Amino acid sequence: MNKLKIKSIKPGTAVQVYDLSVNSNHNFYITNSEILTHNCDYMSPNAQAALRGVMETYSTSCRFLLTCNYPQRIIPAVHSRCQGFQIEKLDVNAVTARVAEICIAEGVEIDLDTLDTYVQATYPDLRKCINMVQQNVVDNVLHKPQAGDRGTGTSDWMISAIELFKEGNYKEARTLICDQARPEEYEDVYKFMYRNLGLWGKTSDQQDHAVVIIRNGMAKSALVSDPEINLAATIIELSNNAR
């Protein structure tokens, strides 16, 4: 199956859409000739086999639009009946712009530095970024996590850590991450550190060295007896590199 990469989608003609959702699978009746199945990777193999028969029966009069996050979960018989399109993740600037557009449309007063903190903590998950911004809007103003809230909620610890890194308070940020991050989240922490190389140095050489430090930390994480100590040591190295 050939895959085409999509970098952007522009809105077309507006039409009435009917939601026929069932459990974790969402089906939308768009027009007399189009059916959209959302999250079809959560359909069981038997359900996908049944869908295959429906697609065969009505292929001359109806178009089926299937979306999924994990294409490997779709059975080959359904793959062979579809043209595949791979949607690339949004650029970080596009995520920032989209959240800013939503805030402006909702009449929320935002500070770009505050908004950037939320984007850094959640990228590339746009939905999570929108939800966290919504949770921290008070009186139509987007607020940063308060100092007293640092480390008190599992949903805000990464945002609090970013604020500490920006302030140059590397030790407190390291302590917060090691206290709050679960072992299964360590990979996300390393990815966060890689996505935000600007925190670990302003020059190109500093950022290149930061990549090597992060790579070494990730490589050792699976080998050491205590991954938390390895993560703490990696953050210390990055902090020294930033200084």
Spatial separation of the C-alpha atoms in residues 223 and 226, rounded to whole Å: 9
User: What is the pLDDT of the chain when averaged over all its residues?
Assistant: 80
**Of residues 42 and 200, which shows the higher confidence score?**
200
Could you report how far apart the first and last alpha carbons of the chain are, in Å?
50
Work out the average pLDDT over 228-236. Answer: 93
- CA-to-CA distance for 238 and 209, rounded, in angstroms? 9
| Nearest CA-CA partner of 243 in 203, 210, 200, 209 | 200
Please tell me which of 57-66, 81-90, 168-177, 211-220 the model is most confident about, judged by mean pLDDT.
211-220
Lowest-pLDDT choice from 3-17, 68-82, 96-110, 161-175: 3-17
H helix intervals, 182-226: 186-195, 204-221
CB 67 within 8 A of CB 36: yes
Band (154; pLDDT cuts 50, 70, 90)? very low
pLDDT class of 48 with cuts at 50, 70, 90: confident
Domains by residue range for the chain, with CATH: 3-87 (3.40.50.300), 90-144 (1.10.8.60), 152-243 (1.20.272)
85 φ/ψ angles, rounded to the nearest 5 degrees: -130, 125
Query: Which residues fall within 8 angstroms of residue 107, CB to CB, at 6 or more apart?
Result: 140
Has residue 229 got a pLDDT over 90? yes
